Amino acid sequence: MKQPPGYEDPSTPGHVCHLQRSLYGLKQAPRAWFKRLHDFLLTAGFKSSKTDVSLFYYTSGIARVYLLVYVDDIIMMGNDGSPGFFLGIEAVSSTSGMFLSQRRYMTDLLGRSGMADCKHLTTPAAVTKATVPSAQLYDNSTQYRRIVGALQYLTFTRPDLSYAVNRLCDWAGCPVDRKSTSGFAVYLGDNLISWLSKKQRTVARSSTEAEYKALADVSAEVTWVVSLLRELGLHSGKPATLWCDNLRATYLCANPVFHARTKHWR
């Protein structure tokens, strides 16, 4: 740090101003921090990803180094090493490869919610429409929102919980606004790398239209993934394949023309 322009003290040039607020309280602090880190990494030989601005990569011969930034947390790995613990997510090696685990995060969440000693059960999600309760069912609404928000972060490595967690936020099957739920899973080879379970922003008038909107969402996600892989030199060159369980929606993708009968397709 250095003394700001207009406030230099020539008698004590080595002194700096004492901030009355924390670093995170200043609006431009994150921007200034990332700008300084960005410029330093570029001078060190890293390249900034155009697909993901928080990703930097370095290539020299067969050696590759990847550096990912989240605010002031940084994780770096290369093709001759493996990542460790980052933002509550741990990379665990096994005989079949590597998988991401949030075991420590989940254990801490159970402790904070007073459920550390509860018996485990399968994911409790009934395949029925969600209903709006007529009375307050949970006294401490602040704690409920805090726990549900923490569960949202847990779905980063647990796609099997996505639907159930979003049901807790009233993000799925809501009969009040009649909005459908988009859900997709993106695979890179045999590895599941991206997924989503989220209520759509608009009302679909048929299952065909709802599935078509979901296809639009997954197409945008796949386009982003392919762009990132090409930038890193990891793309195989083969076109991506999209699967959909609605035949009419696939017809609509081939001929994207909405007409009066579209709303009657099921």
pTM: 0.57
User: What is the predicted pLDDT for the residue at 33?
Assistant: 83
Q: What is the mean pLDDT of residues 257-264?
A: 54
pLDDT higher than 60, residue 245: yes
How many other CB atoms are found less than 10 A from the CB of residue 227? 15
Q: In the numeric block, which tokens belong to residue 42?
A: 């570029």
Name beta bridge partners: 65: 58, 78
Q: Is the pLDDT of residue 40 over 90?
A: yes
Q: Which residues pair with 149 in a beta bridge?
A: none
The pLDDT assigned to 224 comes to 92
Strands 85-86 and 89-94: what pairing? Answer: antiparallel
Q: What percent of the chain has pLDDT over 90?
A: 10
Range with lowest mean pLDDT among 43-52, 173-182, 214-223:
173-182
Confidence of residue 248 (pLDDT cuts 50, 70, 90): confident
In the chain, what is the straight-line distance between the N-terminal and C-terminal CA atoms, in Å? Answer: 63
CB 176 within 8 A of CB 132: yes
Query: What per-residue confidence (pLDDT) applies to 39?
Result: 93
Q: Locate 245 and state its tokens.
A: 């369980």
- 78: closest CA among 228, 232, 236? 232
More confident residue, 84 or 135: 84
Q: Is the pLDDT of residue 171 over 50?
A: no
Spatial strand order of the sheet with 73-78 comes to: 47-48, 55-60, 63-70, 73-78
Q: How confident is the model at residue 259 (pLDDT cuts 50, 70, 90)?
A: low
* pLDDT given at position 43: 94
Q: Which helix (H) or strand (E) holds 185?
A: strand 181-188
- Residue-level pLDDT at 47: 93
What's the distance, CA 195 to chain centroid? 9
Does position 163 have pLDDT exceeding 50, yes or no? yes
How much is the pLDDT for 71? 77
